[in-house]
């Protein structure tokens, strides 16, 4: 704690100073700067600019810091905040906050210097302040003249001009075989069919190339390829990440949304809006963007306040970081703890942006079906039918026997993990108790019940145990995890993730008190209605009701049930008490019941998407050093203060208003970043490298554009063309730059081995998805079913903490395109993950491209590839004459769209003759030529 | 490397990856403290590379006890805690909240402590074999973690960040230094026989570094996936396929002379073929003497105990062959809280009585064996866990909750003092109070011992020069011999 110097002392000193009249004027260099360097510039100097303020550079010092007020008011020493802060006149702002305080003499020197006009000579500063706005990407889009070119295409003009500066030229156009293969691999991520390639090679029409481009862009295969690039940028995955890494069952609709958006060519501003605020424009799937990243589940977050706040801050940080990286190409998250070191993003800007998302939570939201109104009209009639069907089924339910102590032949069915019924004579009560005394696996497992339903008698059949009906729950105890609280037994939600779990092995009880006494005759309960879990099933239990006298009386127990087996009991046991016509009647009633139940569920429960859930945003504060335990001033939601057009929102702006406003701000043509960032991403996926080599960082720490004029031309053209991504794709692939040969030229290699100047088309390995999809395409097994839930490349596992072991056998479900492979965070597909597949931990806008022995082992030895080699062999037998030479020719056409040369033919024929077709196909599926974009 | 030379290497593959770094990162960083980029040859990305300065250690072995080992019941002796057994924790409100909720009273260490060796340092009976090595160990008693949740905390211990998606220590080290072992992975993770740890593959993830720097996971129970030649394909068919593949690839390369990415793929098949021989050889424990097997406990009838013992032997054999980083895990999470790991919430003593013998004898044998073979001269061994545990029992339980504010790790081998203790927790072992150390500090220290400056080992990713130590970390020079 610093001791404030008494004001009288300062005043006294001032008097003393005045007594010695007319001292020499204070000199900045000799008198003032040493004081600033001693006390101030460690925080307000070259390294750190706390509160956006620095005292080592004249212009910055006189301008003031983040407060917007100058700290030095020339001629007014006593009023200058600098003097007030250092002399302790301002209780909230005592400077320096750390380290040695200024002594009275030093304070007086500063004050006199300001009084005398704060003369700060020019050109004496040892540091130069960098104007963070003085950077190419924050300036408006340039409008440069298009250099001439042979093709007349503006892209070629810019590229050829830069080449000419370096004494280079474009390469000649690639041959048609190369072009069609390149087009297919880049636009679709699949090789062309041999017949398509041959037709394209044969056709003489000069418009054939354009026609091919249009056809490829119109194909749904295009969206399936390019959606992947976007999913990489935002680290989309279908699990929660961290240690439990459990599935996000309903994350997949976002993948479908992105694929559709690319295929539909959704204009980019709309694409932004749907992802930030799709809930406001009937596209709730888009808002999955906001919650795409990993997140801790409730049970994984500490119960202490600090842990909860930290976890929430991490969620919000991911939202801001993803918006910054994906749309702005800025590392906004760098300003979480302090002003951005390189870019004009203050810490206050960061928290103002956080305020835009402060009401966004991870969760699920329904995807409204197109026929929603119609469904609502149909619902009442269906409910009536369902009630009748329920009573029909109820009639078959044997009544529990609590009179016989131990019945010799159990009358009632063995227990199932999904759902069990207990029927008893009608009784009026206000309390039901369910007591467990054993579970399926002996005494090891604590019992778990996902839902306990208690029904009032017909005709007014209702679940009177529901919390929403006013019922209350007490339990013997429950597991510490929030997902297993007692209140989840009557929340109306099935499944293990919202289920009561006892805290004692093999036992526990749960009691439900109704809002009022009810006449009841039926209880339904299960361990996991969704059918995933079979452990923890109560096997010995009794259900009791409290009489008016408060005494508990049993109405049903497990004593008259057939013994429970591990796994579903056979049908015959369940229906043992039914015979002949009765059984047939049951079957009919059951069929009707099941159908109606499903219809009702489909009607009333629209599909869901894991997406943003929105609530009233709390006040947002700047957090000192990013620490949620150290809040500072409150901030209103707004966009960046120094970049792009101004956007201010009232502090009480509604939750959705904030997101909508930000989406419009991002798509404002005056905002210099989003169009540049997007066209650069598209360019990068064509040429392997963007015009800006750092796709998520257009700030001062990022790379400079190799062709700034071209980048801005593309951005302008993109905006002028209605922000159409397909139009941009077309522009790029029609250029001579894109169509040139990839053959190396010694003269050019000597000058630009990296091909950054694009004197040829840069050849490169395809990405993991391309490798897998090409394999399936060539083997003939590729399944082009689009959309819906994906397929899992891992063996089934329902452990609380998921363990992802590779799948060991594959079938047709696994032969869909890899974009539909369920994306598990951090766990990679055992065969293709090794090809630099992003792990969805962090944003991956640009995949590394490495070559490893594990890749070789995967392709050469994996069961998946070997099976496909077998299928490819069968295909060759089907599709070609029964001679090795014909088979080799067909295989080359399928894999490489060309004929083998004589030497290749000899080698491959020999391999087939000696080791069979599979051996040969295994080789082709490993060949460099298959894996390269030519 | 100047811009021009760089561009010549930047064409494909790994060279291209470094592109952003050079075009971006260097421009705004002070030249004298700027990143030191490893010179990676695209055609052999794991070739050995020089460190930043002379290293004390050439290799590192991390023994990671997953689930959070209680420092209070193992290495951090707290006499006051014995005395205050059953008392409420001073200075806290009743039933103060930690990770799982409310806490009860203080509970004395569940194992007795004894003075050990020449130093007489007090170590508990939990690990009798490791305790015998006390004179060799260099303890840090003042460790702190950023998270009190296993996943994020294990992420931090292995990658420096609590979030998913960052490169692990072993990936950073192999990125910087490559490998001394030609036919083996540079970085091997050995999961526990019971399964993978809490944060799973994150612990050996390459994050955003190229896949070539990812840890390869295998253990004595489970070989590298896809390593073996497929069943049903004869040796001669396999060889013929390899020859044909090479023939096709070389003809293809002739159309793109000098293309590194193409030649690297050809080379990768050859390295893969060599690995098919060298990895089974390194895992073949039948060449170990009966005495060695017995010393590690590899002959134990219990499959988990002998399984972990075999993993310890595998670790030694990998280090002997020059593998740069070996991460040896003890404990797995799949079986749930505390059943297969050190997460002693409910019945700590009961669980630790099972887990301690699995770790103790083989790990102690491993350290002794490394010393006997002279490997500790240039191998650093780090024993660690993700955080510590509370001096109290949880309310209604006989176990201790998570405590990220104080825990113990130890080091031994190359470059560190023997029989030394650094830092301390308070008298109840609740919080580190003396010479507080962070995971960043531990990582900075490990890198320093490997000859790497933790502030200059960085990789440009999405606008940031990423480091293992983020923007933190101080080398704990007090630990150095």
Instruction: Name chain B contacts of A826, Cβ cutoff 8 Å.
Output: 164-165, 200-202, 205
Domain that holds residue A50: 7-115
Please report the pLDDT score of residue A97 as a whole number.
81
Phi, psi for A62 (deg, rounded to 5): -80, -25
Number of neighbours of residue A911 by Cβ within 10 angstroms: 25
Q: CA A50 to CA A337: how far, in whole Å?
A: 11
Domain boundary, last residue among A115, A132, A159: A115
Task: List the single residue in A241, A303, A331 with the smallest CB-CB distance to B97.
Answer: A303
A143 CA: distance to closest CA in chain B (Å):
25
pLDDT score, position B8? 35
pLDDT at B87 over 90: yes
Reported as a single tens digit per residue, the pLDDT across B248-266 is 999 999 999 878 889 889 9
* Residue A432 counted as domain residue: yes
Tell whether A625 and A540 lie within a shared domain.
no
Check whether residue A517 and residue A610 sit in a common domain.
Answer: no
Distance from CA of A809 to the nearest CA of B (A): 14
Count chain A–chain B contacts defined by CB atoms under 8 A: 310
**Helix-strand-coil split of chain B, %, nearest 5:** 35, 20, 45
Q: Do residues B162 and B146 lie in contact, with contact meaning Cβ atoms separated by under 8 Å?
A: yes
Q: At what angle do helices A917-924 and A902-915 cross, to 10 degrees?
A: 130
pLDDT of A482 reads 73
In this structure, chain A runs to a length of 934
Q: What is the mean pLDDT of residues B351-376?
A: 97
How far B24 CA lies from chain A's nearest CA (Å)?
4
Under 8 Å between Cβ of A664 and A273: yes
Poorest-pLDDT segment among A70-74, A219-223, B450-454 = A70-74
CA distance A330 to A137: 10
pLDDT digits (tens, 9 = 90+) for A470-499: 999 999 998 877 788 899 999 888 888 889
- What six digits make up the tokens of A82? 């600098």
**A208-218 helix and A725-734 helix, angle to the nearest 10 degrees:** 150
Q: Choosing among A479, A869, A928, A930, which should be mutated to test the B contact, i.e. which has the most B CBs within 10 A?
A: A928
Whether residue A630 sits in one domain with residue A494? no
Q: Looking at the domain assignment, is residue A880 inside a domain?
A: yes
Nearest to B248 among A914, A915, A923 (CB): A923
Tokens at A160, concatenated: 């050829």
One of 3.60.20.10, 3.30.420.130, 3.30.420.10, 3.40.720.10 is the CATH number of B44-220+289-454, namely 3.40.720.10
Asked if the structure places residue A39 within a domain, the reply is yes
pTM of the model: 0.80
SS3 B103: strand
Alpha-carbon gap, residue A600 to A491, rounded angstroms = 19
Chain A residues within an 8 Å CB radius of B44: none
Candidate from A59-68, A74-83, A295-304, B103-112 with smallest mean pLDDT? A59-68
Query: A398, A411 in Cβ contact below 8 A?
Result: yes
pLDDT over 90 at A2, yes or no:
no
Do A926 and B229 lie within an 8 Å CB cutoff? no
Per domain, the residue ranges of chain B are: 44-220+289-454, 225-282
| pLDDT value of residue A127 | 76
If one compares A836 and B44, the residue with the highest pLDDT of the two is A836
At residue A912, does pLDDT exceed 90?
yes
A662 shares its domain with A553: no
Q: What percent of chain A has pLDDT over 90?
A: 61
Cα separation, B158 vs B187, whole angstroms: 13
Residues B71 and B386: their CA atoms lie apart, in Å, by 11
Given a cut of 60, is residue A393 above it in pLDDT? yes
* Residue A429 and residue A354 share a domain: no
- b/e map of B104-118 (b: 16 or more CB within 10 Å)? bebbbbbbebeebbe
Closest approach of A429 to chain B, Cα-based (Å):
33
Q: A84 or A895: which carries more pLDDT confidence?
A: A895
User: A577: which 2 tokens?
Assistant: 């008490």
Asked if residue A44 belongs to a domain, the reply is yes
CA A612 vs. chain centroid, Å, equals 11
Looking at the structure, tell me whether residues A618 and A489 fall in a common domain. no
Determine the average pLDDT of the residues in A331-341.
Answer: 90
Average pLDDT over residues A697-719: 95
- Residue A19, Cβ density class (10 Å: 0-12 exposed, 13-18 middle, ≥19 buried): exposed
Shortest Cα–Cα distance, B390 to chain A (Å): 14
C-alpha to C-alpha distance for A345 and A340, rounded to whole angstroms? 5
Q: How confident is residue A419, by pLDDT bands cut at 50, 70 and 90?
A: confident
Among chain A residues, the shortest Cα distance to B465 is held by A701
The pLDDT of residue B369 is above 80: yes
Q: Which A residues 735-754 touch B at CB under 8 Å?
A: 742-744, 749, 752-754
pLDDT (tens digit per residue) in A155-195 = 999 999 999 999 999 999 999 999 999 999 999 999 999 99
pLDDT digits (tens, 9 = 90+) for B395-422: 989 999 999 999 999 999 999 999 999 9
Look at residue A200 and tell me if it is in a domain: no
Of A305, A337, A848, A866, which to mutate for an interface test with B (greatest number of B Cβ within 10 Å)? A848
Judgement on whether residues A421 and A523 belong to the same structural domain of the protein: yes
What sign for the dihedral angle of Cα A224, A229, A233, A238?
positive
CA dist A135 and A702 (Å) reads 11
For residues A349 and A469, membership in a common domain is answered with no
- Name every chain A residue with its beta carbon within 8 A of the beta carbon of B253: 928
pLDDT of res. A605: 77
Chain segment A522-574, per-residue pLDDT in tens: 999 999 988 888 889 999 999 999 998 889 999 999 988 888 776 555 555 55
The larger pLDDT score, comparing residue A757 to residue A128, is at: A757
Q: Are the beta carbons of B334 and B60 closer than 8 angstroms? A: no
Among A576, A598, A632, identify where a domain stops: A576
Token pair of A479 as six digits:
């597991």
Q: Is B30 exposed, middle or buried (0-12, 13-18, 19+ CB in 10 A)?
A: exposed
Q: Is residue A621 scored above 90 in pLDDT?
A: yes
Q: Tokens 């006892």 sit at which residue? A: A502
Number of domains, chain A: 4
* DSSP assignment of A881-925: -SSHHHHHHHHHHHHHSS---HHHHHHHHHHHHHH-HHHHHHHHT
- Rounded to an integer, the average pLDDT of A212-238 is 98
Q: Tell me the torsion sign for CA atoms A439, A444, A450, A451.
A: positive
Q: How far apart are CA A310 and CA B161, in angstroms?
A: 14
The verdict on a CB contact (< 8 Å) between A294 and B227 is no
Q: Which of A16-20, A177-181, A850-854, B205-209 has the lowest mean pLDDT?
A: A16-20
B-chain residues near A857 (CB < 8 A): 224, 226-227, 272, 275-276
ipTM above 0.90, yes or no: no
Which residues on neighbouring strands pair with residue A421, listed in sequence order? A524
CB B102, CB B394: distance < 8 Å: yes
Quick check: B5 pLDDT over 80?
no
In a domain, A664, yes or no: yes
Q: Span A908-933, mean pLDDT?
A: 97
- Which pLDDT does position A184 carry in this prediction? 98
Helix/strand/coil (H/E/C) assignment for every residue in A379-447: HHHHHHHHHHHHHHHHHHCCECCCCCCCCCCCCECCCCCCCEEEEEEEEEEEEEEEEEEEECCECCCCC
pLDDT 10s digits, A277-316: 999 999 999 999 999 999 998 778 998 999 999 999 999 9
Same domain? A439 vs A566:
yes
- Write out chain B residues lying below 8 Å of A475, CB-based: none
Q: Tell me if A849 sits within 8 A of B16, measured CB to CB.
A: yes
């Amino acid at each position: 704690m610093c001791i404030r110097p008494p004001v009288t002392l300062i005043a006294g000193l001032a008097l003393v100073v005045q007594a010695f009249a007319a001292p020499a004027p204070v000199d900045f260099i000799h008198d003032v700067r040493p004081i600033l360097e001693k006390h101030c510039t460690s925080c307000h100097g070259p390294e750190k600019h706390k509160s956006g303020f620095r005292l080592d550079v004249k212009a910055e010092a006189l301008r003031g810091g983040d407060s917007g007020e100058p700290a030095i008011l020339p001629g007014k020493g006593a009023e200058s905040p600098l003097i007030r802060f250092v002399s302790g006149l301002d209780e909230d702002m005592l400077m320096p906050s750390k380290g040695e305080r200024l002594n009275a003499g030093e304070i007086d020197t500063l004050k006199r210097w300001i009084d005398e006009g704060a003369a700060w000579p020019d050109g004496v500063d040892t540091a130069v302040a960098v104007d963070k706005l003085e950077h190419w990407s924050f300036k408006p889009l340039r409008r440069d003249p298009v250099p001439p070119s042979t093709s007349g295409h503006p892209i070629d003009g810019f590229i050829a001009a830069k080449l000419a500066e370096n004494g280079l030229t474009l390469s000649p156009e690639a041959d048609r075989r190369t072009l069609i293969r390149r087009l297919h691999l880049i636009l679709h991520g699949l090789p062309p069919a041999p017949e398509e390639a041959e037709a394209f090679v044969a056709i003489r029409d000069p418009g054939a190339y354009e026609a091919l481009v249009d056809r490829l862009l119109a194909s749904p295969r295009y969206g399936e390829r390019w959606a992947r690039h976007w999913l990489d940028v935002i680290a989309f995955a279908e699990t929660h990440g961290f240690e439990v890494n459990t599935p996000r069952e309903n994350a997949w609709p976002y993948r479908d949304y992105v694929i559709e958006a690319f295929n539909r060519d959704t204009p980019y501003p709309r694409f932004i809006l749907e992802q930030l605020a799709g809930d406001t424009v009937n596209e709730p799937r888009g808002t999955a963007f906001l919650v795409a990243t990993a997140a801790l589940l409730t049970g994984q977050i500490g119960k202490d306040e600090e842990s909860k706040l930290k976890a929430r801050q991490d969620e919000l940080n991911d939202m801001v970081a993803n918006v910054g990286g994906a749309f702005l190409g800025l590392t906004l998250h760098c300003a979480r703890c302090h002003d951005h070191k390189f870019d004009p993003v203050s810490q206050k800007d960061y928290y103002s942006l956080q305020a835009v998302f402060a009401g966004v939570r991870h969760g699920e939201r329904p995807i409204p079906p197109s026929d929603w109104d119609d469904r609502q009209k149909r619902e009442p009639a269906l409910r009536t039918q369902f009630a009748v069907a329920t009573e029909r089924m109820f009639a078959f339910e044997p009544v529990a026997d609590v009179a016989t102590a131990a019945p010799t032949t159990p009358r009632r069915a063995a227990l199932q993990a999904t759902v069990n019924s207990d029927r008893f004579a009608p009784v009026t009560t206000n309390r039901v108790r369910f007591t467990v005394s054993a579970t399926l696996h002996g005494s090891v497992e604590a019992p778990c019940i996902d839902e306990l339903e208690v029904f009032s008698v017909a005709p007014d059949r209702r679940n009177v145990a529901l919390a929403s009906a006013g019922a209350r729950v007490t339990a013997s105890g429950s597991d510490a995890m929030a997902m297993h609280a007692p209140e989840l037994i009557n929340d109306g939600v099935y499944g293990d993730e919202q289920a009561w779990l006892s805290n004692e092995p093999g036992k526990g009880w749960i009691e439900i008190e109704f809002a009022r006494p009810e006449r009841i005759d039926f209880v339904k309960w299960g361990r996991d209605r969704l059918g995933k879990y079979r452990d923890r099933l109560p096997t010995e239990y009794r259900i009791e009701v409290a009489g008016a006298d408060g005494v508990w009386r049993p109405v049903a127990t497990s004593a008259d049930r057939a013994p429970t087996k591990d796994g579903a009991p056979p049908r015959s046991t369940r229906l043992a008490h039914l015979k002949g016509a009765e059984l047939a009647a049951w079957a009919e009633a059951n069929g009707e019941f099941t159908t109606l139940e499903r219809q009702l569920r489909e009607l009333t429960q629209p599909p869901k998407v894991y997406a943003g859930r929105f609530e009233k945003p709390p006040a947002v504060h700047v957090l000192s050093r990013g620490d949620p335990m150290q809040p500072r001033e409150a901030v209103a939601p707004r966009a960046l203060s120094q970049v792009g057009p101004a956007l201010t929102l009232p502090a009480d702006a509604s939750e959705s208003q904030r997101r909508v406003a930000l989406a419009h701000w991002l798509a404002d043509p005056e905002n210099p970043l989003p169009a540049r960032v997007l066209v650069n991403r598209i360019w990068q996926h064509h040429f392997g490298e963007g015009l800006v080599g750092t796709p998520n960082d257009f700030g001062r720490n990022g790379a400079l554009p190799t062709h700034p004029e071209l980048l801005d031309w593309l951005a302008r053209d993109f905006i002028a063309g209605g922000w159409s991504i397909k139009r941009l794709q077309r522009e790029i692939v029609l250029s001579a730059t894109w169509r040139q040969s990839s053959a190396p030229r010694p003269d050019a290699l000597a000058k630009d081995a990296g091909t950054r100047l694009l004197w040829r088309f840069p050849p490169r390995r395809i990405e993991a998805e391309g490798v897998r999809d090409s394999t399936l395409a060539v083997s003939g097994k590729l399944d082009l079913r689009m959309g819906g839930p994906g397929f899992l490349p891992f063996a089934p596992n329902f452990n609380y903490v998921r363990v992802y072991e590779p799948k060991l056998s594959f079938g047709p479900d696994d032969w869909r395109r890899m974009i539909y492979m369920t994306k598990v965070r951090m766990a990679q597909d055992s065969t293709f993950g090794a090809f630099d597949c992003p792990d969805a931990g962090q944003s991956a806008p640009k995949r590394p491209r490495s070559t490893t022995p594990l890749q070789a082992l995967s392709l050469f030895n994996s069961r998946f590839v070997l099976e496909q080699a077998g299928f490819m062999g069968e295909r060759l037998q089907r599709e070609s004459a029964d001679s090795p030479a014909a088979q080799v020719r067909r295989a080359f056409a399928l894999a490489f769209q060309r004929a083998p040369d004589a030497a290749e033919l000899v080698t491959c024929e020999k391999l087939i003759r000696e080791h069979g077709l599979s051996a040969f196909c295994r080789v082709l599926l490993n060949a460099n030529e298959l894996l390269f974009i030519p | 490397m100047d811009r021009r030379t760089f561009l010549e290497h930047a064409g494909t593959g790994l060279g291209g990856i470094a592109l952003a770094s050079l075009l971006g990162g260097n421009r705004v960083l002070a030249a004298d403290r700027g990143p030191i980029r490893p010179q990676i040859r695209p055609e052999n990305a794991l070739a050995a590379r020089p460190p930043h300065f002379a290293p004390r250690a050439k290799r590192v072995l991390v023994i990671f006890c997953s689930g959070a080992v209680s420092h209070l019941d193992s290495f951090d002796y707290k006499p006051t805690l014995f005395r205050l057994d059953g008392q409420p924790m001073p200075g806290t409100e009743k039933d103060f909240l930690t990770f799982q909720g409310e806490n009860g009273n203080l509970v004395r260490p569940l194992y007795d402590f004894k003075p050990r060796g020449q130093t007489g340092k007090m170590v508990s009976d939990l690990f009798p074999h490791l305790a015998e090595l006390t004179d060799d160990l260099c303890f840090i008693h003042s460790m702190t973690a950023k998270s009190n949740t296993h996943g994020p905390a294990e992420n931090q211990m292995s990658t420096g960040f609590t979030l998913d998606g960052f490169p692990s220590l072993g990936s950073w080290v192999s990125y910087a230094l490559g490998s001394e072992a030609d036919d083996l992975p540079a970085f091997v993770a050995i999961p526990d026989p019971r399964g993978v740890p809490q944060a799973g593959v994150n612990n050996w993830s390459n994050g955003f570094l190229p896949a070539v720097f990812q840890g390869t996971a295998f253990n004595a129970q489970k070989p590298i996936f896809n390593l073996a030649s497929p069943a049903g394909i004869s040796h001669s068919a396999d060889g013929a396929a390899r020859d044909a593949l090479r023939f096709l690839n070389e003809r293809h390369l002739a159309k793109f002379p000098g293309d590194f990415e193409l030649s690297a793929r050809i080379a990768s098949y050859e390295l893969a073929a060599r690995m098919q021989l060298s990895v089974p050889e390194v895992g073949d424990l039948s060449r170990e003497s009966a005495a060695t097997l017995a010393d590690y406990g590899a002959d134990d009838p219990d499959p988990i105990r002998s399984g972990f013992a075999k993993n310890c032997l595998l670790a030694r054999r990998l280090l002997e062959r020059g593998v740069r980083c070996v991460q040896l895990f003890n404990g797995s999470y799949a079986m749930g809280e505390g059943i297969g790991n050190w997460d002693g919430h409910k019945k700590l003593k009961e669980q630790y009585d099972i887990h301690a013998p699995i770790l103790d004898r083989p790990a102690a044998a491993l350290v002794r064996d490394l010393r006997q073979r002279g490997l500790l001269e240039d191998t650093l061994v780090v024993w660690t866990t993700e955080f510590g545990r509370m001096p109290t029992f949880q309310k209604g339980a006989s176990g201790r909750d998570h405590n990220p504010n104080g825990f113990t790790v130890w080091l031994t081998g190359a470059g560190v003092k023997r029989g030394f203790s650094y830092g301390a927790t308070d008298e109840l072992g609740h919080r580190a109070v003396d010479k507080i150390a962070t995971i960043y500090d531990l990582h900075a220290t490990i890198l320093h011992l490997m000859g790497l400056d933790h502030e200059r080992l960085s990789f440009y990713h999405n606008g940031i020069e990423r480091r293992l130590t983020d923007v933190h970390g101080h080398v704990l020079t007090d630990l150095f011999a």
